[in-house]
Amino acid sequence: MSVLVVGSVAFDSVKTPYGEAEEAIGGSATYFAAAASFFTPVDIVAVVGTDFPRESLQFLSERHVDLSGLEVADGRTFRWAGEYQLNMNDRETLDTQLNVLADFHPNLADRHREQPFVFLANIDPELQASVLKQTVHPDLVICDTMDFWISGKRDALLETMTQVDVLIINDSEARDLVEDHNLARAANQILGLGPRAVVIKRGEHGATLITNDTYFSVPAFPVLSVMDPTGAGDSFAGGFVGYLAKSKDTSDIGLKNAMVHGSVMASFNVEDFSVRRLETLTPHEIDHRYDRFIEMITL
C-alpha cells in the first residue's frame, strides 16, 4: 500500500559541532519520503518556491516517490535554521521563514485522496486538517508536529489530533502539548485526545510506543559518528509508516516492528548532513542494520 505525505520541502541551514550546511535540501516531507520510499511508494503534497532546484529531488523520483503534488508557487521556499549543542540532542531553532508555506492551500488530486496511509508531517496543523478533509476514509492517519506549532497553533493542532490514529512526537513536545512534565501521564493524556497510539521520540535515548494495551521501548542504534540529527524524527516516521504500509499490519505487534524500522532509518539519516546519507543508502545496508538491531534488543 502506498502513503500520502503532506509536509515541508525546505532549505535548511544547520550547524553542529562537526560542521555546517548552508541552505541544504531538507523539510519534513523530504526526509520522510526519502526514508519511506525504501518500503513503499510515496506521494508528496507540498509547496516550494521558484528558487527550489527540483532536480535535487530526482533521487526520490527514482525510488517511486510521486512528485506531481509538489506545487511551485511564486516566491521563496520555506527556510529553517538550527544549531545543535555538543550532546546533539538539544537543538535551538535560529530562524523559521514560512515564505510560500504561509499561503499554501493543498489541493489533492484523486489519486492522493484515496491513499490508504496518510502521514501528516510537521507542518501547519490547519494544512494537516485541510488535507484530511479531502481524503476518503484512510486506513491509518499518522501525525507529527513540533514546538513551533504547539505554541503557535495549539487549538488547530488539538482539533487535528481528534482525527489522528498515531501521533509521533518528541518528549519535550509531548510534555508541552498536554502541559504535564511526567511523560507516562503525558502519553496517557495524548491517548485521550484522539490517537490510539503515541510514539515518543527521545533522540539518542530511543523511542517508546504507548497504546492502551502496550508500552514498548527501543533504544537508538549506537551510531559512532553522528554528523547532523536534522530529520531524524522524519526519517524515523518514514521507516515506521513505510513499514506499516508494506506489512499492512497495524496491530500493536505491527506497530512494535515498525518502531525498529523507524529507529534503523533514523540511525542512517544522522550519519551525514541533509538527505545525503538517505540518498546513497541501499536496501542491503538497511537489512543488515535491522538484523543487528534485533540482535541488540533480544536476549
For binding to ligand AMP (CB under 6 A), which residues are involved?
8, 10, 12, 26-28, 80, 96, 122-123, 146, 148, 230-234
Are 186 and 208 spatial neighbours (Cβ–Cβ below 8 Å)?
A: no
Q: How far is the CB of 43 from ligand AMP (least distance, A)?
A: 18
- Nearer to ligand AMP by Cβ, of 60 and 146: the residue is 146
DSSP state of 290: H
Distance CA 27, CA 121 (A): 9
- Nearer to ligand AMP by Cβ, of 84 and 117: the residue is 84
- Nearer to ligand AMP by Cβ, of 43 and 228: the residue is 228
Distance CA 57, CA 52 (A): 10
From the number of C-beta atoms within 10 Å of its C-beta (0-12, 13-18, 19+), residue 268 rates as: buried
Q: How far is the CB of 177 from ligand AMP (least distance, A)?
A: 15
Q: How many CA atoms lie within 13 A of 22 on its CB side?
A: 0
Distance CA 298, CA 17 (A): 33
Q: How far is the CB of 98 from ligand AMP (least distance, A)?
A: 7
- Nearer to ligand AMP by Cβ, of 138 and 231: the residue is 231
- Nearer to ligand AMP by Cβ, of 212 and 225: the residue is 225
Are 6 and 46 spatial neighbours (Cβ–Cβ below 8 Å)?
A: yes
Q: Where are the alpha helices (DSSP H) in the chain?
A: 28-36, 58-61, 110-113, 125-134, 147-152, 154-161, 171-178, 183-191, 232-247, 252-269, 276-280, 283-297
Are 165 and 134 spatial neighbours (Cβ–Cβ below 8 Å)?
A: no
Distance CA 291, CA 277 (A): 19
The residues facing 141 across adjacent strands are 118
Q: How far is the CB of 237 from ligand AMP (least distance, A)?
A: 8
Q: How far is the CB of 215 from ligand AMP (least distance, A)?
A: 23
- Nearer to ligand AMP by Cβ, of 96 and 189: the residue is 96
Are 129 and 85 spatial neighbours (Cβ–Cβ below 8 Å)?
A: no
Q: How far is the CB of 256 from ligand AMP (least distance, A)?
A: 21
- Nearer to ligand AMP by Cβ, of 76 and 249: the residue is 76
User: All 3 cell numbers of residue 183?
Assistant: 511523560
- Nearer to ligand AMP by Cβ, of 7 and 195: the residue is 7
Q: How far is the CB of 55 from ligand AMP (least distance, A)?
A: 19
Q: How far is the CB of 21 from ligand AMP (least distance, A)?
A: 11
